[in-house]
């Protein structure tokens, strides 16, 4: 199994996605998950008139350093499948754009957050989310991209209906009934729910992508071994289910840059010298992330360069 990580590890440290690629690659990562989550925010370079040139630059940058994009995360910073507000049209447009970007970069799997809304039950949830996803099927077929729905946690969703278990995700995917609709399993979210193994094995061949990170009592997106998750459970499930994709980290908050999370770190008046961790430390953290992944996979004899 090959290690990958998200370009969002270097949000706040980079002027453009080429820099993100270079920093992740300098830490050892050859395989990358392109973070497109903020594409539905006005001003995204992926929605600019010259977006094709921007994507081509990213592709050339990756090729120069020997990196490859293998996964993506579709937009979702402001849009919600079930809420047709002032952000909705841009959300739909940017989701379509993200599929085109995946096509340009040869990315086969992109992760999507299904919609959520208080008071929506399972039947309505399935119907409306399936309708949203199915509108993109012509684009998915054109570019050879699979949309992967992701599990969440009650810590984030409260009483809103959302996928918490692998069997629910499998049921939804089979309800949609198209081979380019699959699943992404988020280990940090699952850890907060208290289960992993059965969920992953229930998904079986529907599992196309992973978000590997650890948690404690909130959705912290931290390094494995810094929370309460037992990584052995995840790896056993992946091996037993026949998963053949990338072992993709989403530990992007392991060293938080408050530029990306305003208000996250307390401010000390008159002295901001330790407010933002320097890039050099963030790259060292990224190197540790790679070493953790390599150690875990080598332990089970499944690590691939």
Q: What is the pLDDT of residues 276-293, one digit of tens each?
A: 999 999 999 999 999 999
Interval 158-184 mean pLDDT:
98
pLDDT band for position 93 (cuts 50, 70, 90): very high
What three-state secondary structure class fits 138?
helix
Structure confidence by residue, pLDDT tens digits, 33-92: 999 999 999 999 999 999 999 999 999 999 999 999 999 999 999 999 999 999 999 999
Q: How far is CA 78 from CA 86, 136, 205, 206, 245, in A?
A: 10, 19, 31, 27, 29
Structure confidence by residue, pLDDT tens digits, 252-263: 998 888 877 777
| Whether the Cβ atoms of residue 10 and residue 255 lie closer than 8 Å to each other | no
The Cα diameter of the chain in Å comes to: 58
| Whether the Cβ atoms of residue 183 and residue 133 lie closer than 8 Å to each other | no
Crossing angle between the packed helical segments 88-105 and 51-65, to the nearest 10 degrees: 40
Strand partners of residue 110: 72, 147
Strand partners of residue 33: 6, 71
Structure confidence by residue, pLDDT tens digits, 167-178: 999 999 999 999
The structure tokens 């409260």 sit at 158
Interval 163-170 mean pLDDT:
98
CB atoms within 10 A of CB 135: 11
What pLDDT is stored for residue 256 in this prediction? 83
What three-state secondary structure class fits 116?
coil
What pLDDT is stored for residue 264 in this prediction? 82
| Whether the Cβ atoms of residue 246 and residue 2 lie closer than 8 Å to each other | yes
pLDDT band for position 166 (cuts 50, 70, 90): very high
Domains within the chain, CATH numbers bracketed: 3-299 (3.20.20.150)
The structure tokens 């040139």 sit at 53
Structure confidence by residue, pLDDT tens digits, 191-242: 999 999 999 999 999 999 999 999 999 999 999 999 999 999 999 999 999 9
Mean pLDDT of all residues belonging to the chain: 96
Structure confidence by residue, pLDDT tens digits, 2-46: 999 999 999 989 989 999 999 999 999 999 999 999 999 999 999
Nearest to 3 by CA among 18, 25, 23, 20: 25
| Whether the Cβ atoms of residue 177 and residue 241 lie closer than 8 Å to each other | no
What pLDDT is stored for residue 257 in this prediction? 82
What pLDDT is stored for residue 258 in this prediction? 82
User: Over 90: is that where the pLDDT of 243 sits?
Assistant: yes
């Amino acid at each position: 199994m090959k290690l990958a990580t998200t370009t969002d590890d270097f949000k706040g440290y980079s002027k453009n996605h080429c820099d993100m690629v270079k920093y992740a690659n300098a830490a050892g990562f050859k395989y990358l998950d392109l973070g497109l989550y903020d594409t539905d925010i006005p001003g995204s370079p992926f929605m600019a008139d010259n977006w094709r040139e921007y994507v081509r630059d990213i592709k050339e940058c990756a090729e120069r350093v020997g990196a490859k994009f293998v996964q993506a995360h579709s937009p979702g910073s402001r849009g919600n499948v079930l809420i047709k507000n002032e952000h909705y049209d841009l959300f739909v447009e940017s989701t379509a754009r993200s599929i085109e970007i995946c096509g340009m970069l040869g990315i086969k799997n992109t992760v999507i957050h299904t919609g959520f809304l208080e008071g929506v039950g399972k039947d309505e949830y399935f119907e409306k989310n399936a309708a949203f996803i199915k509108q993109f099927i012509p684009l998915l077929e054109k570019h050879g991209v699979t949309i992967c729905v992701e599990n969440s946690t009650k810590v984030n969703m409260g009483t809103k209906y959302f996928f918490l278990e692998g069997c629910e995700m499998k049921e939804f995917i089979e309800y949609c009934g198209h081979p380019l609709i699959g699943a992404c399993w988020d280990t940090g979210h699952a850890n907060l729910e208290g289960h992993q193994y059965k969920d992953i094995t229930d998904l079986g061949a529907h599992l196309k992508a992973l978000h590997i990170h650890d948690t404690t009592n909130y959705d912290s997106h931290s390094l494995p071994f810094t929370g309460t998750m037992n990584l052995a459970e995840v790896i056993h499930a992946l091996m037993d289910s026949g998963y053949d994709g990338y072992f993709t980290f989403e530990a992007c908050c392991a060293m938080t840059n408050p530029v990306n999370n305003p208000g996250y770190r307390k401010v000390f008046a008159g002295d901001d010298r330790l407010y933002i961790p320097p890039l050099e430390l963030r790259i060292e953290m990224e190197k540790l992330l790679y070493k953790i992944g390599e150690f875990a996979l080598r332990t089970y004899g499944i690590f691939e360069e």
